[in-house]
Amino acid sequence: MSSLFTPLAIRGNEMRNRLWVSPMCQYSAVDGVPNDWHHVHLAQFAAGGAGLVVAEATAVSPEGRISPEDVGLWNDAQLEAWRPVVAAIRARGAVAGVQLGHAGRKASTTSPLTGGRGTVAPADGGWQTVAPSAVAYDRFAEPVALDAEGIEKVVRDFAEAARRAVAAGFEVLELHAAHGYLLHQFLSPLTNLRDDAYGGSFENRVRLLVRVTEAVRAAAPDAAVFVRFSATDAAEGGWDVADTVAAARLVADAGADLIDVSSGGLVPHQRITTGPGYQVEYAATVRRETGLLVSAVGMIDDPALAENVVADGRADAVMSGREWLRDPHFGLRAAAALGADVPWPAQYTRAAR
């Protein structure tokens, strides 16, 4: 019996297995609207055996995009464009998820597909970025600190995007509070220098994330809500694993169902040593300390490693990214390697024998 290929139900949404597709930006949209590329890109993973396919970081507002080429869910044209993509995922047996995010001070940047790395000026199709404090990331443009009205807009934008996501058919909504984007920027004392109700103490710095989680839960009562954290900033004086454990409890009370545990991305001077499964122990700590459902990420590209992470109780599921890009049928290959009896698409059954 394979632990990795046992189902997992969350709020009535049953994932057929625990090998999932991480959200991966494609930088291929126009005006936030997904297109044929996104359709084929995401549907192939469902055909390849994934239990859950999570669409890339999807902006809750135009100014929340990482780049001008990011997808969004801030208007109904985007909602309608997502419908057939979601239907294709579900028709192939996987649960469809989307990661809702706001890039904050790391927004309005050049797409890596163009080979650049920097801020896109307003004259070139970019925009003024926002953040908890007017502190720039690396060589990016300085953001404007959000005022009270701006913070309220962020909460509303996440809720409205959640409503649109559910209307498009998404069953899992992940809130992106990791990798140095806006919600993470509020969490960390390295980027949050505020002296109001959203800065200073841990309770204040986590306030926006808790409010967003509550708003998304209210907007999408039947959806499974995940929160992705960077468990550590990997920089002196930054957010750490103990903070993540404490925040995980708070977002669970606010309506989150699962904690997706990653790391880093906040500051350029982070120090992280990578390797197969290098972030798994962060997930294991959150699971052990809180009793919450967690997913683990980080170079989990070997079926045996993925199986062990779940079988050993270090995480309830694993998410992989690059391995699915290398092999969109990673799920079927992993099942065969682990001797798991799973249904194959009828068109591919000759390869199952």
Q: Active-site residue numbers?
A: 181
Burial of 341 by CB count in 10 Å (0-12 exposed, 13-18 middle, 19+ buried)? exposed
User: DSSP characters for 64-120?
Assistant: G-SSTT--B-SSHHHHHHHHHHHHHHHHTTPEEEEEEE--GGG-SB--GGGT--SBP
SS3 30: strand
How many CB atoms neighbour CB 308 within 10 A? 17
* Angle, CA 334 vertex, CA 43 and CA 291 arms, to 5°: 90
The residue behind tokens 């959203």 is: 198
CA 186: distance to chain centroid? 17
Helix (H, G, I), strand (E, B) or coil at 212: helix
Asked if 259 and 229 touch (Cβ cutoff 8 Å), the reply is: yes
| DSSP label at residue 146 | P
Choose among 236, 226, 118, 106: nearest CA to 170.
Answer: 226
Q: Which of 14, 16, 54 is nearest to 335 (CA)?
A: 16
Report the C-alpha dihedral over residues 60, 13, 343, 39, rounded to 10 degrees. -20
**What's the rounded Cα separation, in Å, for the pair 116 and 123?**
17
State the helix-helix crossing angle for 76-91 and 36-47, rounded to 10 degrees: 30
CB 143 within 8 A of CB 102: no
Q: Could you tell me what percentage of the chain is helix, strand and coil, using 3-state DSSP and rounding each to the nearest 5?
A: 40, 15, 45
Q: How far is CA 154 from the centre of its chain?
A: 17
